Structure 1
Amino acid sequence: MADQFAKGIEFEKKAEKKINGWGLSSSKYEDAADLYQRAGNCFKLDKSWDKAGSVYIKLAGCHVKSDSKHEAASAYVDAANCYKKTSRKQAIAWLDKAVSMFLDIGRFHMAARYCKEIGELFEVEQNFEQAIVYFERSAELFESEEATSLANQCKFKVAQFSAQLAQYPKAIKIYEEVARLSLNVNLLKYGVKGHLLNAGICQLCKGDVVATTNALERYQDLDPNFSRTREYKFLADLASAVDEEDVAKFTEVIKEFDSMTPLDAWKTTLLLRVKESLKAKELEEDDLT
């Protein structure tokens, strides 16, 4: 492996010599592309990720000159995969370039896949606003390709981050819409109660007990089976505790549900917000008395 970097430099020099030399334009770029590909492989073996990334960008440039847009987009993806090791910012930039190129040639499924990947990189960065942008784009593209399951995965990410950013109506709309559409698909029916539970928790976060009660009635109309689930009872008991402004009851309801069905970090965070809001009201009333 020790000489892989030196081999990579040699292949890169040969590629540049091809481009700068005489010859038919298309063939010299094709020859240079082959040499850049070899250089990139050598730099990857050497784990020289930045160097490999820069070479794959040059490789993409050759494919653009040869009017091979699919190969160019794939080279940008290769560059991004290398930059993931050293710079998420660079990785995002080149994946975005690949997405634009895949859209140009009508490869919507590929564009959706890499939009999703960009969303995931922004998620790692905890830049939820930008993550939402790319997961929304990805969902739209997957839907255009009738890849419903993949589209829903992206929609759930949008809903998750929207709720984290206190954009509750947006999250509620997504969970309710997916629940409604899932009722008509046998393979997706089992997930409906979970989607309605998430929507209901977001309703509670809005702090409007009447709206939450109305939502629970709508959910029963949407899916008559929902009222017989533990998820429905959980939401109804929480709404009752909020209405009574009873922090102890609210806490006990959560504890009981969690002992049977452990709550994930997202639900716990949102329910904690509701509890803190209840506590604040309690303190206000104590101050008044």
Structure 2
Amino acid sequence: MGDYMAKGEELEKKAEKKLSGWGLFGSKYEDSADLFDKAANSYKLAKSWDKAGEVYIKLANCHLKLESKHEAASAYVDAANCYKKTSAKEAISCFNTAVNLFMDIGRLNMAARYCKEIGELYEADQDFEKAMDFFERSADLFQSEEVTTSANQCKQKVAQFAAQLEQYPKAVEIFESIARQSMNNNLLKYSVKGILLNAGLCQLCRGDIVAITNSLEQYQELDPTFSGTREYKFLADLASSSDEEDVGRFTDVIKEFDSMTRLDAWKTTLLLRAKNALKAKEVEEDDLT
């Protein structure tokens, strides 16, 4: 590793020397870029990620002097991928610069991809507000390029973050909109029951039984096969046990569904919120009697 580190330092020094010296415009930046690229690679081999990230930024600056925004953006992406191993904050900063450069040259698909990467870094950091912002930007960019599947995946993440932040109306609206779009696509039709289940769980967390019942009727109109699914039965049973304020039955309904279709962490969080709200209501009523 020490050899790679020394090699990286040597190449970086050569690149810096080229930059500070005389040379025909362009040629010194091209020569320096080549040396910085090799230096960054050596630092990566030495697993010195911060140094590699730092040198990729120097490489990006050379490309910007040569008015090559695409190469500069790619170098910022390389820097971000190095920083991902040591500092999410630095990685986000580099991805952000890359996104802006890709936007400038009309590479919206690439900009969308790296907005999504930023969203994922914020998600890993449990910063759902910022994660939601970047997944929203990513969805809009994918949509503008008509990459519908990727746009919908990002929108679903936005809806999930909205629900985690207890912005249930926003989450419901997004899930229902994706379900409507998906019904018109033979490849996406199969996913509709899962999306409607997500929307229904968000409705459940709002605690409005009338709204849940109305939604279930609307979902049957949207997808006539929905009423025959386990997802529909699950939502209907949760709604009726909520209406009856029967915490025990509510819990049994969840256990039964989970024994056949494993509930993910997001659904479990929402169901726990709904159950706790039901328990609180039960305690409140016991106190009144």
Q: Flag whether TM exceeds 0.5 (same fold).
A: yes
Deviation readout 1:176-200 (Å, 9 max, x if unpaired): 0111000111110000000000000
TM-score normalised by length of structure 1: 0.98
Query: What percentage of aligned pairs have identical amino acids?
Result: 73
Gaps of 5+ in 2: none
Structure 1 residue 149, shift from structure 2 partner = 1.1
Name the counterpart of 2:254: 254
Name the counterpart of 1:267: 267
CA distance in 1, matches of 2:23, 2:265: 61
The letter for the 2-side match of 1:237 is D
SS of the residue corresponding to residue 126 of structure 1 reads coil
How many residue pairs match? The answer is: 289
Deviation readout 1:47-78 (Å, 9 max, x if unpaired): 11111111110000000000000000000011
TM-score normalised by length of structure 2: 0.98
Deviation readout 1:11-57 (Å, 9 max, x if unpaired): 11111111111122211111110111111111111111111111110
SS of the residue corresponding to residue 185 of structure 1 reads coil
CA distance in 2, matches of 1:131, 1:124: 9
SS of the residue corresponding to residue 117 of structure 2 reads helix
SS of the residue corresponding to residue 14 of structure 1 reads helix
Deviation readout 1:117-168 (Å, 9 max, x if unpaired): 1111111111111100110111111111111111111111111111111111
Name the counterpart of 1:28: 28
Gaps of 5+ in 1: none
Structure 1 residue 2, shift from structure 2 partner = 2.9
The alignment status of 1:216 with 2:202, answered yes or no, reads no
Q: How does 1:78-227 map to 2 (within 5 A)?
A: 78-227=78-227
Structure 1 residue 237, shift from structure 2 partner = 1.1
CA distance in 1, matches of 2:51, 2:32: 17
CA distance in 2, matches of 1:7, 1:37: 12
CA distance in 2, matches of 1:157, 1:266: 11
Structure 1 residue 248, shift from structure 2 partner = 1.3
Deviation readout 1:200-232 (Å, 9 max, x if unpaired): 000000011111111111111111111111111
> How well do the aligned residues superpose, as a CA RMSD in angstroms?
0.9
CA distance in 2, matches of 1:50, 1:119: 22
Segments of 4+ moved more than 4 angstroms = none
The letter for the 1-side match of 2:73 is A
Structure 1 residue 270, shift from structure 2 partner = 0.5
